[in-house]
Structure 1
């Protein structure tokens, strides 16, 4: 396992649609996932997509444990690996909240997201994963899957005026 460099906004790999994984049981996919998890944890992230470490495959990893102050205690999202994920919006009502991204370091912005989704994909053993997610869990999944389509959260912002540097203490929320 190794911590890999995280690509930043503007890199061409982050702007393109990623290729399908196909068979997630291949040993090279397991090795890639190990690197993704280690990179995500080293960066104190809640999720990471393969394109963020320069691999253009439809593969995401995320984790938002219950009680995590970043997750606001809303809902548990166990450490999950999804190959070739698909999202279905269950509730079209959008909720806006702050998001950050490992590929847009030091910044955050308010992003509208569907508040309830169903997601499907394959785990590393090739077994189908299907869950319904609400709140922060749903937000994390949507954010990571956006990376697979070449979308970063600033592109989803309804008001670019909310984009800010995290270390800017000159104003209050």
Structure 2
């Protein structure tokens, strides 16, 4: 495994809340300028690199690595594989994504998040969504996602608005041995 060069921002570390990282994660992201500028291309490249470095990650949003732009990347297959291919066809990158349609009754599912380490929250998500966005080359695209892939896309797009799994009303699960730590953390963020 190669060393990680990109730090994923978190709401808390092993000791307490991370004020500066929390501020960044909670700030709504700005649109990426189109046509793509050299700076935007560099930000996209940085997000792709960071995502491909992460073992076991299903997705990553630009704010999670300190880039305040509307860019998300996530696997589109191989969800149960820790060592997936990392080929461009095996992930989707969306620039300025917007959910334009939802279908079905929201379904409950436990979600984890790299920015909320060691917890899972039960979150209701639509089972089918349609997203308008731009691809890695700046071309306009429209995608339909269903089931688990729709959940992942909605989770990552939430990051662009500064919303995280801990903002949902569902039960929060954390390791029993860290009960007092997480009770303190959640008393401060709710």
Instruction: Output the TM-score relative to the length of structure 1.
Output: 0.81
Q: Higher RCO, 1 or 2 (CA under 8 Å, sep at least 6)?
A: 1
User: 2:134: which partner in 1?
Assistant: 122
| Contact map agreement 1:83 1:121 (CA 8 A) in 2 | yes
Larger strand proportion, structure 1 or 2? Answer: 1
CA RMSD of aligned residues (A): 2.3
The whole-number CA distance in structure 2 between the counterparts of 1:124 and 1:166 is 42
Paired position in structure 2 for 1:74: none
Equivalent residues of 2:97, 2:132 under 8 A apart: yes
Question: Which residue matches 2:37?
Answer: 26
Greater Rg by CA: 2
Paired with 1:166 and 1:130, the residues of 2 have a C-alpha distance of 43
Which of these residues, 143, 152, 175, is aligned with residue 131 of structure 1?
143
User: Does residue 1:106 correspond to 2:106, yes or no?
Assistant: no
Q: Distance in 1 between matches of 2:80 and 2:74?
A: 16
Offset of 1:109 from its aligned partner? 1.7
Runs of 4+ in 1 over 3 A off after TM superposition: 165-168
The alpha carbon displacement at 1:89 in A equals 3.5
- Which structure is higher in helix share? 2
Q: Give aligned pairs, total.
A: 158
| TM-score computed with the length of structure 2 as normaliser | 0.74
